[in-house]
C-alpha cells in the first residue's frame, strides 16, 4: 500500500511539473478598446511629436499597443507598424485571434487610435497604421473635421484641461466613432 501511494505521489508530482512547464511564464494580454486605461492616456494630453518616448507610450497604451513593431515620427506624422515580435510573450495564435478575427478589429483599432492621437498629440499632422496587408492613412484635418461635425463642443487640442474634460464626457461616443458601422475617416 505504501508503495502504491509513493508511486501515485511521484506521478502526481511529475504531472504538476509538466503542466507548469508547458504554460508560458509570462502571457501578455493585448489591449482591446474596452480595456484602454483612460486615466493613463489623459495624463499624456499635450504630448508633442518631438517627444518620442511619450508618443511611443501613448501608442502602447492604445488598443493593440503590445504588438507595436515600430513607430516613425518623421514629418510630424505618426506612423505605427504592428506585428509579432519574438520574445513578446504573445503567441502567433493569440496575435491572429486578436487582429484577424473577421470583425475588422484592425480597422476599428486604427480609427480609435487616430482619434486619440489627434486629441493627445496636438502637433501631429497625420496618422498611418499598418499591419500585414492592411493600412490606414489619415490626416489630422480629416480626423478633426469628423470630430468637429460630430461634437459641437470639440475642444482646442492645445488646451490640455479642455481635452481631458472632452474625453471624460465623450469616451463612449468616441468609441462608437471607431466602430465598424461608423468609420468616418474613409
Supply the pTM of this predicted model.
0.83
- Show Cβ contacts of residue 67 under 8 Å, excluding neighbours closer than 6 positions: 30, 82, 83, 84, 85, 88, 90, 95, 98, 99, 131
Quick one: how far is CA 84 from the chain centroid?
14
Which domain covers residue 145, as residue numbers?
Answer: 28-177
Helix (H, G, I), strand (E, B), or coil: what is residue 70? strand
Identify whether 4 is part of a domain.
no
Contact 155, 165 (CB under 8 A): yes
Angle between helices 160-177 and 105-120 (to 10 degrees): 170
Identify whether 15 is part of a domain.
no
Contact 147, 156 (CB under 8 A): no
Identify whether 173 is part of a domain.
yes
Identify whether 91 is part of a domain.
yes
Identify whether 21 is part of a domain.
no
Considering its fold, how many domains does the chain have in total? 1
Helix (H, G, I), strand (E, B), or coil: what is residue 183? coil
- Per-residue pLDDT of the chain in tens (186 residues, 90 and over written 9): 666 766 656 565 566 665 555 544 457 899 999 999 999 999 999 999 989 999 999 999 999 999 999 999 999 999 999 999 888 899 999 999 999 887 788 888 999 999 999 999 999 999 999 999 889 999 999 999 999 999 999 999 999 999 999 999 999 999 988 886 655 565
Amino acid at each position: 500500500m505504501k508503495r502504491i501511494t509513493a508511486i501515485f505521489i511521484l506521478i502526481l508530482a511529475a504531472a504538476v511539473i509538466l503542466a507548469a512547464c508547458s504554460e508560458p511564464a509570462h502571457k501578455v494580454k493585448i489591449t482591446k478598446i474596452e480595456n484602454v486605461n483612460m486615466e493613463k492616456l489623459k495624463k499624456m494630453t499635450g504630448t508633442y511629436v518631438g517627444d518620442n518616448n511619450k508618443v511611443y507610450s501613448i501608442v502602447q497604451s492604445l488598443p493593440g499597443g503590445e504588438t507595436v513593431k515600430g513607430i516613425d515620427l518623421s514629418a510630424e506624422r505618426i506612423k505605427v507598424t504592428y506585428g509579432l515580435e519574438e520574445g513578446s510573450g504573445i503567441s502567433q495564435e493569440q496575435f491572429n485571434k486578436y487582429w484577424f478575427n473577421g470583425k475588422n478589429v484592425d480597422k476599428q483599432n486604427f480609427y480609435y487610435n487616430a482619434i486619440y492621437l489627434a486629441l493627445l498629440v496636438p502637433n501631429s499632422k497625420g496618422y498611418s497604421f499598418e499591419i500585414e496587408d492592411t493600412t490606414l492613412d489619415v490626416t489630422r484635418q480629416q480626423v478633426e473635421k469628423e470630430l468637429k461635425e460630430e461634437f459641437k463642443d470639440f475642444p482646442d487640442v492645445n488646451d490640455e484641461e479642455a481635452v481631458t474634460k472632452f474625453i471624460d464626457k465623450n469616451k463612449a461616443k468616441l468609441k462608437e466613432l471607431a466602430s465598424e458601422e461608423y468609420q468616418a475617416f474613409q
